[in-house]
Amino acid sequence: SGDENNDQLVMRVVNDVLQGAHYQPKQIDDQLSEEVFTTFIDQIDAGKRFFTSSDISQLSQYKDKLDDQFAMGSSAFFDEAYGIMKSRFSQAEGYYEELLAEPFDFSVEETFETDPEKMDWTDEAGLKDRWRRQLKFRVLGRIYADMENATEEEPFNFEESEASARESELEVHNEWFKNLNDMERVEWFGTYLNAFTLQFDPHTQYYPPRQQENFEIQMTGQLEGIGAQLSPRGEYVTVASIV
């Protein structure tokens, strides 16, 4: 397929650059493979709110094989992870929409672990409960802020604050998932390749086409191909000169 052929080409080019042109090349071996695996999973799901324990077990079969796949130009691991990831994104979207539709029960005393390092991967029921606890925690934070900012002229009203907090969280999560869903496969593939480049140094990165254009605009103010030098002016971008 087109994606497969393009993946092979890009992986081989990045492999050649890292091995032949990087100022401090590393051995791409099983140890680096495991580090790439951990980095990639962390980049996709640092908060452990998407992948289940069974997903991680399924993907772990590739943990020491990514170096071999990289050398061959194979995207087998990425393809499998990408399919699971898209499914879990859709599932999580249903979680937060359902959970934010009704008031949370604040009469129950419970805790929420905020440090992902102390969390274990869990099953689907555990994932939904993790989403419930985090959303409840975030809503409670907004309610507390309303309490702190209440005045005699605008006294605190718990029901109104709770409803407003859920509405705000819904807006935040809708925007977050819109951005997730707008990301194309090639951009997620770039994330995977950068799990390799990050093992060499934090400044070596692969940019998919759309990100490369954004990077060049940020660095130079010029987008190759439109024949113009761009310059920011307040909230707008103006054409500074014709190239």
> What's the mean pLDDT in 157-183?
95
For 25-49, what is each residue's pLDDT tens digit? 667 789 999 999 999 999 999 999 9
Residues 6+ away with beta carbon under 8 Å from 227: 242, 243
Structure-token match 């995977």, residue found? 192
For 61-83, what is each residue's pLDDT tens digit? 999 999 999 888 899 999 999 99
Query: For position 220, what pLDDT does the model report?
Result: 43
For 120-151, what is each residue's pLDDT tens digit? 999 999 999 999 999 999 999 999 999 999 99
Across 12-30, b (16+ Cβ under 10 Å) vs e yields eebbeebeeeeeeeeebee
Q: What is the full DSSP assignment across the chain?
A: -HHHHHHHHHHHHHHHHHHHT-SS----SHHHHHHHHHHHHHHH-TTSSS--HHHHHHHGGGTTTHHHHHHHT--HHHHHHHHHHHHHHHHHHHHHHHHTTS---TTS-------GGGPPP--HHHHHHHHHHHHHHHHHHHHHHHHHH--SSS---HHHHHHHHHHHHHHHHHHHHHHHHHS-HHHHHHHHHHHHHTTT-TT-----HHHHHHHHHHHHSB-TTS-EEEEEETTEEEEEEE-
Query: For position 228, what pLDDT does the model report?
Result: 52
Residues recorded for the chain: 243
